[in-house]
Amino acid sequence: MTRIAIVQEPPVFLEREKTIEKAANWVRKAAVDGAELVVFSEAFIPGYPAWIWRLKPGGDWGLSEQLHARLVANAVQLETDQLRPLQEAAREMGVTVVCGVNERDSETSRATLYNTVLTIGPEGTLLNRHRKLMPTNPERMVWGFGDASGLKAVDTPLGRVGSLVCWENFMPLARYALFAQGVEIYIAPTYDSGDKWIRSLQHIAREGGCWVVGAGNILRISDLPPDFPDIERLYPDPEEWINQGDSVVISPAGEIVAGPLRQEVGVVWADMELAEAVAAKRSLDIVGHYARPDIFTLQINASPQRPVEFIETGRSAS
């Protein structure tokens, strides 16, 4: 039996260090209460750029640049030790952590952001980095396109864990890639919410014969920083929930076993029996006995995609 905790808490919005510290503290709290797997939502560090759904398409240029610059300055660079407090909390408590971050590319332009979900093992090591393959609609003005180098289900002491972010869960071939790798705990950090989204997750659980964890994004007007620009125009109702959460855990049979936690901060707890993921595939294993490789095959380019390659050649003697 595996005990999971979905932390449905707002970040310290647009403040990287404070949000990382908050996440690390929650990992410790959840572990004390028995959690072996602790999950945070999409872009938790330092927060989902919710303003993109309120700005005028192609307009509000100055405001967009102001907010984007702040997001870039507080994004995570994995080549640094910025995530060390969260990794140390995972190691100290011996738990696996899955957390969404705004990742700043440090390899080429050093300015592009990615919507990334990280899997940190109980030794504090980074087990996987998955960059969202297809940012949705206005998200494309914030994040670059990920590749399949992190489209993985990875081994953890709890079983095989894989993640897809928000609406890329609607991409059948991306789901199929995780199912083909034997994912047992399928984690969906998301900005989406509501009954339609939850029904989609129930379908995914039955389709893949796996546990599905929907980690919802929770955010209120009061969670925005006091100096958030033009807040009165973008969010005129101070009582508004920008996002209502809806974190949920669904069994391989498609049944909701915990949550959804709606318009409420807190932790969604669930106990998962991984043997149920095996039993669910007895009658339907879409990448096993229910597959038809003589008719359908999927080819995935899992190589890291880079826009530039530097080749050094030696000079010949004159």
User: Does residue 210 carry a catalytic annotation?
Assistant: no
Q: Name the active-site residue from 166, 184, 207, 210.
A: 166
Secondary structure in 3-state letters for the chain: CEEEEEEECCCCCCCHHHHHHHHHHHHHHHHHCCCCEEECCCCCECCCCHHHHCCCCCCCHHHHHHHHHHHHHCCECCCCCCCHHHHHHHHHHCCEEEEEEEEECCCCCCCCEEEEEEEECCCCCEEEEEECCCCCHHHHHCECCCCHHHCCEEEECCEEEEECCHHHHHCHHHHHHHHHCCCCEEEEEECCCCHHHHHHHHHHHHHHCCEEEEEECEEEHHHCCCCCCCHHHHCCCCCCEEEEEEEEEECCCCCEEEEEEECCCEEEEEEECCHHHHHCCCCCCCCCCCCCCCCCCCCCCCCCCCCCCCCCCCCCCC
User: Does residue 92 carry a catalytic annotation?
Assistant: no
User: Does residue 166 carry a catalytic annotation?
Assistant: yes
Q: Name the active-site residue from 9, 42, 103, 184.
A: 42
Q: Name the active-site residue from 22, 132, 152, 281.
A: 132
Catalytic residues: 42, 132, 166
